[in-house]
Structure 1
Amino acid sequence: MKLKELERPAVQAWSPASQYPLYLATGTSAQQLDSSFSTNGTLEIFEVDFRDPSLDLKHKGVLSASSRFHKLIWGSFGNGLLESSGVIAGGGDNGMLILYNVTHILSSGKEPVIAQKQKHTGAVRALDFNPFQGNLLASGASDSEVFIWDLNNLNVPMTLGSKSQQPPEDIKALSWNRQAQHILSSAHPSGKAVVWDLRKNEPIIKVSDHSNRMHCSGLAWHPDIATQLVLCSEDDRLPVIQLWDLRFASSPLKVLESHSRGILSVSWSQADAELLLTSAKDSQILCWNLESSEVVYKLPTQSSWCFEVQWCPRDPSVFSAASFDGWISLYSVMGRSWEVQHMRLADKISSSFSKGQPLPPLQVPEQVTQASLIPPLKKPPKWIRRPTGVSFAFGGKLVTFGLPSTRLVPQPCPRLVFISQVTTESEFLMRSTELQEALRSGNLLNYCQNKSQQALLQSEKMLWQFLKVTLEQDSRMKFLKLLGYSKDELQKKVAIWLKSDVGLGEGPQPKGNDLNSDRQQAFCSQASKHTTEEASASSAFFDELLPQNMTPWEIPITKDVDGLLSQALLLGELGPAVELCLKEERFADAIILAQAGGADLLKQTQERYLAMKKTKISSLLACVVQKNWKDVVCTCSLKNWREALALLLTYSSTEKFPELCDMLGTRMEQEGGRTLTSEARLCYVCSGSVERLVECWAKCHQALSPMALQDLMEKVMVLNRSLELLWGPHGVSPGPATTYRVTQYANLLAAQGGLATAMSFLPSDCAQPPVQQLRDRLFRAQGSAVLGQQSPPFPYPRIVVGAIPHSKETSYRLGSQPSHQVPTPSPRPRVFTPQSSPAMPLAPSHPSPYQGPRMQNLSDYRAPGSQAIQPLPLGPGVRPGPQDSWKEAPAPRGNLQRNKLPEAFMPPAPITAPVMSLTPELQGILPSQPPVSGVSHAPPGAPGELSLQLQHLPPEKMERKELPPEHQSLKSSFEALLQRCSLSATDLKTKRKLEEAAQRLECLYEKLCEGTLSPHVVAGLHEVARCVDAGSFEQGLAVHAQVAGCSSFSEVSSFMPILKAVLIIAHKLLV
């Protein structure tokens, strides 16, 4: 896209990257003439404002020059002045070098000319400022003259070498090295480039093309790699760009050929070392990607040749081009349609002809050429790529990438990726570790005791004491003690009360007819052992209470109540007797009579009594007698929740106790407010309801924090362990709320790096997808730490992708013959050691219209015949070729069991000539072999090909060194990976590839035995093996790519490609 344009027959120079605003300097070109044919020169400075939509540049300064310019360059040298805008150096005719102060030109103040030097003998066509020391300026002219100027002292420049050392040639270009400040290179029309070392003041190397047809027109150093530079040729017969590396200066590393005519200018982007800009006589400006050697941007200039292109130092996407038609244009490589420029031009013309009113719309004829579209760069440039980045990964990992701060030696992969463990909750991890250790060791009693002592709130202290009791025997009695009710204390209090002189509002009892103190103790002791489930005492016990000396008594026969009672008792009418007692409020007599009348009468009497007698304790008596514990839970005052819980602990059955405790806790949550909601947790601990405990905790903790979740998990895990002691490990199944909180806890642990700890807390028998997915993720994230453990079930559905069916036409065209391939032996003088006979596949790898022959059983071979050579059909994917075309046959693969190769097996040498007959020596040694049944029939249209069928002798035993112990793990990892892939592979193609890999990896093991691999290759292979053991195949592929890129091809070509294929297969199969 064109951004700006300027009509000037001039050379150009951008302001330095540190300069703001952005300027463009132009100097009248010595190689061009305008319509006035004037020979005067002008130096002008323009401001480049891309916010302005117009194509014009803002004129900021102008200065008349004594001569025209061949080269213009703008440096940042300013003598330490903050207000300085740098220095412009111009090279003119007759060896003239002129230096200008940019600040004075812009301000039109003081004399802008700093100095004029005329040391060269010819035109100064090459200039360059040192990027490290801005006061050093290199200039080049005719007769191979190169001067180094110090702007602090311009009197005597430094001369490189002597004229006698170099042939008298023009200097076409000069360039300082971008990494080494003392290295300078010069380009000559003869096609050579000379590299100078200023410390030695002599050339250190000369680079030249052997074809002697290259005429250098430009030169540029690599921005990042100190030893690489490019040369371009202006010769129309050889319009190429050559990339040279001085370490291998015998020939260029790359040759770029896309220009059709000679190249006039070259510029290397300092913002992206992969981008190189060139202009040529074919009226094209090309941008190259040096990594891929392709053109990523093409700009046809359509008007004239561009003799100079320059990247903008400040805006990396912008470049300028000066053409021979007298125009300087500014473009962007990001691309845009020319239509915008055409609309701007049309608007400009319309504004000149309009008279205050807009012109009518322009009707463009259909035959007018449509606006062309200039596409942007094919690859995103470096300046819009992220130079660094950061991302959090699972397991509390922080992954960062970026360029290293210093890079002395260029690397194939300069970006570094760092994986760090981020831990923000140290106390949380410490408490989690303590909990895991207590669960593992089983020392939970001390753990609960410590937690109770460390608790600050009384409710937390009580909760931990309750949790401790759940792990002990006789938990109900201990719960009662924690609630403040102890049988021992009760017995002491009752005994003290009975011994006192004052009873229940009555005076002292007579001693003669009452129980003595010993009997009182015995009564209290017996009464304490009985509950309502044993309401009546034994008769023997009451016999002991009767006095020994009885007074005679009479039966009332009067007409009062006593007489009526006597008659009812004498007649056995206990029901009416009980009614009389209740009416007269003789409740004790009624209860005694009802007990003698049976359970039904006793129950009715108890209900009548409890309904008639209302006291503070009557409700409690009613619940104890009637065993109606649900009424206690639902109707008692919540102020007495402790008493209600104690009543349940004392009287309720084992089956009903958990339900009643949950009901009490739920009522406390719903009606008791925040205080009783916290106390309700004690009810859930007593009942063993983990789910309700978690739900109650969630109501009290609206804001989730790691420490609060840790408090919950400590209680949940202890309560779960107590339930496991009662019901066994499989008797506890977590509910939805518990599972949700446990999953949250495990995720939080994983985020802090505690992968193994997080996995241990997950319920093992939970089938909920979130738990299974998290377990699988934790298992795979641990890598080699879980080797030997059984992997969890795969939480996602497996999708089997079948092979794509082939059409008959395609199958036959690709080769439908079965893959019968016979290996050929390696010829040796006198001693013949053939290769072991491999098995052949039973069927072709894909459908075909022609069904090839099948191999007979190996046991069906008969005696040797006279024919030893039979034609075999070609394998799948092999085109039939002429019979005189011979090449090395690939190793056969199939499903039949193959003969095991010896350890010292050496692959045979490839066949270099067709074997048409056996020598007499071999005919005498080797027996003939009959042809395979059915093999001689070739498919229609496929020419036969002769193959050698030889009865193989046992191979020679060649001793191979044993694999060193430090490399045994390498072989074990790769062989185990191949085995897992073979078991998971379903298609025949993959299985064949794995069989080939097993053979090809033998080359690796041989090299390891011989110790011929480089240390960095061995280290990389071990790193790949560690990635394989951890199941991280993507990381293994990244390590593989780095090792392969940094290694010699001849060293690793025998095993690295197949190792990569195995890693890709393993990654796809998820083994």
Structure 2
Amino acid sequence: MSKTATLEKRGTICWSPKGNLLAVGTTADTIDEDFDSSSFIEIYEVSSEAKLVKKVSAQNRFYKLTWGPYEGYENGIIAVSNDESKIVLYDVSKILEMKEEEDVEKAKITEMETKEVIYDIQFHPSQKQLVAGGACGEFIIYDISNLKNIQFTQPEQKTQADIKCVNWNVKVPHIIALTLSTGSIVIFDCKKKKNIMTFNDKTHANWKGACWVPTEKTTIVTISDSEEKPVQLWDVRNTMAPVRVFEGHKAPVWSISFSKTDPNIFATTGQDKTAIWNFETGKIICEFPSQENVWDTFVQWSSQEGRMCTCGLDGFINFYTISDYGDGKHPKWMERTSGCTFGFGGKMGIFKGKEVLLKKMVGNVSIKKMEKGEIEELCVKRSETCQGDEQETWKLISGIVCKDNNAVIKITGFEGENVKEKVNEYYKEKGLFKVNEIKEEVSQGKEVNKAEVEEEDDPFEHMGEEEEGTKEKIEGESVTEEVKEEKYKEDTVEDKIIEELVVSGEIDKAVEFCIKTKRFADALIMTENNKEIHSKVIEEYKKEEWNRKKSLNIVNAIMEDKLEQIVEECNVEEWKFVLYAICIHANVALKPVLIVRLGDKLYPINKHAALICYIASGNVNKLIDIWIDASHGIEEVIERIEILRSMCGQIQLTDSITTKIVEHATQLASIGELNAAQKLIECLGAQQNDKTKELIDRIYYAQGAHGTQPVCPYKKVVVGSIQQPHTQQNTPQQRPVTNNQFFPPVPSPSSGIPTLPTIQQPTLQTQNRTQPVLSQIPVIPASVQPVMPSIPQPQVLPTTSKVNPPIPQPVMPPVPTLGTQSMLPQVPVPGTQPTLPSIPQPVMPPVPTPVVQPPIPSIPKVTVPISQPVMPVMSQANNTSSSSDGVIDIMVCEELKKVLDQVTSNIETKSKGTSFERPASVALKKASSFAGCIDKIPADIAKQFINLFNDLLEGKVGEAEQAFKKLLVNKQTTQYIPASSVASVKYVVDVSKQMK
């Protein structure tokens, strides 16, 4: 049972007889916090949430709503009892067609006036009748066969008590149970139109309701205000005592309802909890405790399978669903009347009722492994037929599969020749071409525009006329004067200041002046011979000019080999240009790293661009997560696996993809396609686990066990074989075996053939009262005077040949436990031989201190090693993680709070208006518990959480998950942080992963 939705609404409710609609009416005799006297009937559609379908206003408030089916009315009719002592019938279809907050009177079918207020009304489950019960014994039965002319019966009641609840008997349709305010139950017969019987609880508990058992005629379940036995089962044929007491509630119960789809379960709501019961066992399936002083007062099951709702004093309507009983049984609506299942190797079992059939399935499935040429052809074909982003992806893949080294550069759209043409066009536009450059282009075979050639003058037309004038210009003074005019320009104030500073020897100040006046070229020339100042000038120039221009900043990163700066600061819309720059300038080792970093930056915004980067970098792990996943069909998954292997060689598939392949192969084997299943498993290559090996082994035996036997992942045991025990030597009691037709000759042990096992014959104990030889306790004869050694005793000491005399032997008391020192007691009878106790051997005993036994008659001194007390050593926890020093740093705690706020703010911002808004709100609530214990976290553990949250901010969810796992196995984490607070971090990580 689980809660699926909650509706913040006060009112009386009823379910639609068909479908998932719920009607809510404003309850009579109640007020709102703002003393609003308005009244409404609202209809909600209930699924995973309660959605308002229609809301109409009403002139009165309601004591009870009930919804029943009626022929000619598509959505049925609703009967209400209002605070004007009237029962009104409404057409639901008209209510659904009305405009928002129109008066519900427009949907009224008819109304019936009553003398008193009606507290409960109920449609007959199978006939067109309506029963109503109310104040002062008001009891009416309406015949609603003709809604235009409703007939009614109003039996006279002997009691003037209020009727709080009415309930039709399902099995006997003319019997009604009435619950009175005095705590009694009246059984009424509609045919005889009189009360059959009245009974009450002998414990003087007041019954609050009663409900007939749907599957039985004479049994009824009652609820009362008793705190000991509020839920009871009665048989109306004998009301001396209840048939059963349902134990579970410890407070008054207010409402009861049987499920409409499974009569074996019913629900009760009481002051202590809401409970779902199994009627057969009498046990609670599940329960929902009530809050203090706030409990549910009404419960009703829907006609839908396993759905119910409750309402109560807290102003909320709660919706629940049930899917199992929790004891291995399932509700009636989940039982299957027929079904089928596949067996391994193409066998299928079918059942329908009690009939079972076995069939052999035959299919025709072929799985072909693509060759290299076929893969290349497929990729090229896809690059030509696909459109949009898919076409761009397949162009890059086909280029890599076909060994095109420039495939990545081509996908970016930037090439060196294009850039050169762009430069030449700029030169032509600005008139920056020189004559020798134009001649060089012509000499290289480039075409010249004919129109431009025709416009130019013939170079040979005026050659004789201008020859002399040309010589004069070359050799004359006029040329020198022209050159002088171009050589010098008029000095500015800055020029004069620089000149004076340099002449005065103030080179440093001159350079400083140039920098402040933005004359960096002059400063660079003046510091050409001073490398230190020259480099500072370059840094200032880059700081003032280059770093303020995005393009020059990229140029600077390339010149200084800082390509990672381009990735960090790039605009995601220009990702192709950045990818082109990495391909041209990065070295072989750094190139894939930078491309992957670019893909990680693009992934949250542009998954297609990230996919291109992952393909270009050859990062198979990230590529599989995007390009191959379990959402594709099995054919497409296998196809893309083969393409990736052609591109990258051996690849490591994710568990989800491997599981999907194994599941599909198992399905193929189940329908008899053993060859296809085996070829599908081969697509995994060397990546085979126990599941795949098990499947291969089953396929091998299902095909008849031909060919090479695969390796089975489990140890095989032949059921029914008997393992003969191994005998080391023949015993004297072994019966010799003769060489005849029944007993074959016994081979020698050296022949390698196992011999028959010998059967040990039991030996009877003799009546000699000899001292038994105990294990690890040697018997010392009287003639020997031993001295106990201080070294550890051997496990078994050899016994002597002498037999102890049959004199009762005194037994010495056991040696005290470790840690105590006591002397051995004196033996009272001289000449008797004591049996020494066994001395426990500690694991690591210290050097024993011998204590000398005082002389005893006929018994020599015995030196007994007394063990010294050993302090217990606490076992150290086997913790592979590093231990915490327990030092709390306020600055680190503040930093952890700051980065946690950034993560939660980021989640809240990104989740608004999306499908992740609800799980995000749960994660944020959970994160608040972790924030409350940050001040108690040691610095070393707090730094690990800081790194984890920083990974989330950078989009590195995988790294964050690994960091959380390390923190979770570290026992020091839960030593300083409550386990619930640690688990709350998992919510933050999971919702970040979902949003990514």
TM beyond 0.5: no
TM-score of the aligned structures, taking structure 2 as reference length: 0.33
Q: Which has the larger radius of gyration?
A: 1
Tell me the TM-score normalised to structure 1 length.
0.31
